[in-house]
Structure formats: C-alpha cells, structure tokens
Structure 1
C-alpha cells in the first residue's frame, strides 16, 4: 500500500501532515495560478464555517474559503457544459460549492466572491473555479450584511 501522507508547508499552519488521497485536483489550476493543480482543505481552528484551500506545492498559495450558502440567503447558478464535462458531474449531490473569502480587520469589511465559485466533485476529487459573469453576484459581496 502506498503512503499518501505527506508533510507540507502552509501559509497559515506552518507544517502539517496531509493525506494526499484527500487532495483536490484542479485539472486547469486556478485562474492566475494555472500551475497549481493540487490543494487540500484545512480547518481554521474550531471554526466550521471557514477553511483554508492550501496548495500542496507552494506554502504561499492559500485562500480562506466558505460555503456561500451559509453566508447568503439565495445563491444559485447554472453550471456550464465544459465544467460539467471537466468535473464529470452526473448529479448535483456530487458537488460542494465554496467561495473565496477576503477577511478584513472587521467583519463588516470582509467579503466573499460570489462571481467565481469553487466547485468540488466530492467523489472523484476534481475541482474548478467557475467564472459566472452573472450580474446578480459580486466579486466582493459583503458578508456582514448576511451574518446576524
């Protein structure tokens, strides 16, 4: 049996051991980070709503992420055919959706990117950031007006 546990350098957690069999594979990388194809989700302390999407290759490439459904009353979009094909999506239940969060000093100034959700196929571990071009959603949607 192949050992898939590896110690990686991280942006926020120093060094951590991760199980690479649970890594997420972005076949085309992330926009602006096309060479970064493998990421893991790491917890932020005891906070269940926020996580870190951490590159397994470069410690400096990491993003705070959260489920938009926990922060926004209504959030829906159509997944384009190229994304369905790339991620091999057969049913909606196969997906987890996260958004990149920009944490500021105060909650009132923190935002989530609703214009470019991260889609994760929970069975095959493939993922992609999909650009929506939907004027209902902002790149910097304030989370403070959603969180009571």
Structure 2
C-alpha cells in the first residue's frame, strides 16, 4: 500500500510495518497507526508518521547517544500495555522540537516514545517524579572563549 507522508512524499509500505498506538498520542488520541521512517542516512533521526494524516509527522531520535545517562523505569501498567516480554524488544525514541539553526533543536526527555518492536505496539510515556523536561538541548553549546 502507499501512504502520503509529511517529509517523504508518497511511500510504499506494508501494514505489518505499522506501529499501533492503542491510546494514540497525547493531544492526538485519534491517531492510532504510525510508520517509523528514516530521516537521516546515518540512522540518527526518524519520522513518526501518522498513517491516516499525511501532515502529521514527528521527528524522533534515539536519546542515548545524546544523553548517555538518560534512564527511566517503565511502570507495570505500561509494560502490560506494550505487551513486553523482553527488554530486547524495546526501542526508545524522544520527540524533537526542530529549531533553526539546527544546533538549537531540543529533545523531550519527559515523554519518550517506547515501542515494542516485536509486537509493533507503541506508547508515549509521560515520566513523573524525574528531573527530565520537555526541552533539553540536543547539542551542548560550546563555551565562548
């Protein structure tokens, strides 16, 4: 099948590739099916593209190369909702707020996107009781000399 996307135009895909978000995303509860598409050749950035709404695509990245100390624990309800059997089946993304210039781009560490890659189920998890916020600089600013 083909779907229209925000950043890639018309894309050929299979329904098996879709990641189901049973509860949607905060602010987009009606959006249940997404496709994760590469957005950079080096595998650093991705697009979480809505299958039903062509103009809805979020830029994502794996947070761990940028924030090696980033750590959180999923509560039992989330583990059950994602039908997780092994942590090997988990991929974590953070939603980016793109900026111009690009080095001012920020990452939302307070609400990671967690995906069960085996079952193709996703959820945006809102972390509470942490110091993580919605806007962490993706790139460390160089100090002026």
| TM-score of the superposed pair, with normalisation by structure 2 | 0.92
Could you tell me how far apart the structure 1 residues matched to 2:46 and 2:92 are?
Answer: 13
Aligned mate of 1:78, from 62, 73, 77: 73
Could you tell me how far apart the structure 2 residues matched to 1:121 and 1:45 are?
Answer: 22
Report matched runs for 1:56-135 at 5 Å: 56-135=51-130
Aligned mate of 2:133, from 99, 116, 138: 138
Match of 1:50 in 2: 45
Could you say what secondary structure the match of 1:128 adopts?
strand
Could you say what secondary structure the match of 1:85 adopts?
helix
Count residues with an aligned counterpart.
Answer: 142
Moved over 2 A (4+): none
Could you say what secondary structure the match of 2:109 adopts?
coil
Per-residue CA deviations over 1:25-83 (Å, capped at 9, x if unaligned) read 00110011111000001112414100100001001111000000121121110101211
Could you tell me how far apart the structure 2 residues matched to 1:8 and 1:86 are?
Answer: 27
**Where does structure 2 lack aligned partners over 5 or more consecutive residues?**
none
Deviation at 1:137, TM superposition (A): 1.1
| TM-score of the superposed pair, with normalisation by structure 1 | 0.90
Over the aligned positions, Cα root-mean-square deviation in angstroms equals 1.6
Could you tell me how far apart the structure 1 residues matched to 2:113 and 2:128 are?
Answer: 14
